[in-house]
Structure 1
Amino acid sequence: MKVCYEYAESHNYTVVGEYIDRAQSGKFDNRAEFQRMIADSDKHTFDGILVYQLDRFARNRYDSAIYKAKLKKNGVRVLSAKENITDDASGILIEGVLESMAEYYSVELAQKIHRGMSINAEKCLSYGNNPGLGFKVNKADRTFYVDEEEAAIVREIFERYASGETKAEIVKDLQRRKVKTSIGNKFTYNSLSRLLKNKRYIGIYLYKGVETPGGMPRILNDDLFYRVQSLMNKNKSAPARTRGENEYLLTTKLFCGHCKEMMVGYGGTGKSGKHYYMCKKARKKKCDKKIIGKQYIEDRVVSECLKMLTYDKIRYIAKRVAEKCIKSPDNISVREIKKAIKEVDAAIENLWEGIEQGQSVDMLTERLHKRQAEKEEL
């Protein structure tokens, strides 16, 4: 920022605004402020974009060419405070070389980082991620070791869950005691669930979905860990079962045989705590229908329904439900994929426009093929 303002002052430019994407790489174009800057260029409120270096604008030649073309169309130049680039033919050449070098260093750095992470993973060393509660990393050689104080909390959590305590009860107690997660946050239902599934506690090192047994120091024995996994799988459907005990399944479906009025849930608050169905008119003393036990009538109805569910009818219902699902795939994942396809289509259209204008045809054609392959995959 300091260098940019000094450059603007020395060249008699007036700065009318700032677009700052903090801690975001110039490798990608999906930066909020960057995209706002491109959109604002349509308003013709500024004549130039001043960057510290060209790699702050973009780190791949495709993005650089596309967005510079958009800015140029709106009468906006891209200026570099650190790189003295002229407006003549040699300036265009130098700018192209600098952009190529920025992309080269970006790709090379990414390769080095991934290579370093892979080498660390082969040796079961830390590659900079959060080790999890109970583990610490030796800064000298990046090996993992057990923090006994935290490990005791991990063992306590597993033992309490295995003994029948719920996640909600454990979380409430951990919050009361101000016990923190490995990143210093208070425990939540989700963070506790992740902890209970972490295979590192039985000595398994994880990297990109690959498991290395014995790669981590062990905190738990296999018996306790897998007993907890079995309980969690069993408890996945528990909320529905518990809720069913207090819900009146026949609400809006059960009618009084005397006056044809709807039967509604009644009871559960007295000394007996029992649940019944009661005629709505009987509540107002306008019908002499007696209350009927919830469990009794629901069991009778379910029993009669089961007699109707023959193999052929089950197949028929399953087929109709499947057809309905196919016709209405309006779920989150499908919406996200549709949105991604729309974005790729827009990018492909931009590439065709670039090719038609003769902008770096070989490079744009290669990018076009990649985008088309991406669309096919989506």
Structure 2
Amino acid sequence: MKAAIYSRKSKFTGKGESVENQIELCKTYGASNGYTDFSIYEDEGFSGGNINRPMFRSMMKDAKLKKFDAIICYRLDRISRNVSDFSTLIDKLKDLSIDFISIREQFDTSSPMGTAMMFISSVFAQLERETIAERIKDNMYELAKTGRWLGGTPPFGFCSEPIYYLDNNSKQKKMMTLSPIAEEIDLVKYFYSQYLSLGSLGQLQKHLVQENIKTKRNARWDIKALNIVLRNPAYVNSSELVVSYLATKGATVLGVPNGNGINSYNKKNSKGVAKDVNEWILSVAKHDGIISDTEWLNVQRLLDKNKILAPRLVTGSDCGLFNSVLRCSKCGGRMISKQGHASVKTGETIRYYVCSTKTNTYGRDCDCKNIRLDKLENEVMKEIFEVTSDHGDLINAINKYKQDLENETSSKVDIKTLSTQISTKELQVKNLVDKIGINPNIYDVLATRIEELNNEIKSLQFKKFEIENSQSNIKEALKKIDTYTAMLLNFEDLFKNADYQMKRLLVNSLVNKISYDSKTKLTEIKLFCAKKKVVL
């Protein structure tokens, strides 16, 4: 019987359960269980988090060709650490009548009990990973109670530094805490006092622009960054009043308020999206607070009040067709739609595209003039319809691009040639190993050549994988081009019959960038397939 031996290790290393050791153990097990011919598939330097590995994919292709009767691996997690991937693999092998054997756990899918036990083990492996993640969270919660800084980017005005202490066994330990940066802390105090004086984030931002006060990266302070500073409890002198306020937001503060600041953790998920306050972990910190509880609470109440009064984010048809692609030619900033005054003649509200840099800096960094939204959109869409209606040039350009892609595929080394080279070298290795089996005394003479051939085989296998991957990507690109072509050829009809959200989607699919110059009235439209200039 024939068997495939699969081995994997996340890092290139010669220690412990190396790829070579895994293979030898699998060979020994296979030989003692009736398998006489082995195909080796090695992935070293690849994670078990997914199954997108070159030799694993090669093994599965050979499985479909019935080149072996079983897959043998050293341990379950060599295949995958994901239950879903593992389950899919076992189902595929079952359909192909190929057994799966894990020698470490002694699982063999040739028996129903072996299959059941393998799935149970895989489920427990995932459960263990989830338990570890939960333990880390619990440990973080316990460490937060101590008031130490648990890592990450310190709030503006602070840096992290170590402090040392003796534990219950009189051993020296280290913990991190926040330490103030004098110049930045003075600026934070200034933000708080000015916000209460000016009454809004917009006015505070305008004031900072006028005073030319910038971030430590020499950028303008935007409203979002200012809001983060003013909301952060790291600056407050913790007190019962502060704790009570945070409780009204659904947050619980660990520790006894003593005038120190309050550290906050677990504020965002793994994708960087802010979590609800009731999911935060807040604790009285080791560092001193710098804003009095009364001033901090006054700022929070004013922020709460202004949030209720602030206009909601514009959505739907008020967003503007070109919000995602329109840029100011002068500064490169985004131009976004904004509501203007009502027309005296029609009473209809006029909307404009406005340079965001101009708005954020109150005209200090850019003085691009506004452009009426309806005028710009109508003129630009006329030009886009004209370009997409010229089917002759459009089709020729697309066909040329497709031909270039296809030529790129055919110009690469033939997969069959590589496969032949690999098979030839594998046969050479087998013959040399057979010779050593007959005469062990020649091992030293042939070992170097065998190693050279194995390295050449690995190189060819990786080259083959890269080409197969490239060809797969090109085939996928060609399919997308055909879909894109159909959209282009019917663009005007699709656009005119679409709702507003679909119109924006169609524009974003076709338009790479639109630049508007208020001085020359020149609008440059850069499509993914052409470029056009319009004077308004």
TM-score normalised over the length of structure 2: 0.33
Normalized per residue, which structure has more strand?
Answer: 2
- Compute the TM-score of the two structures, normalised by the length of structure 1: 0.44
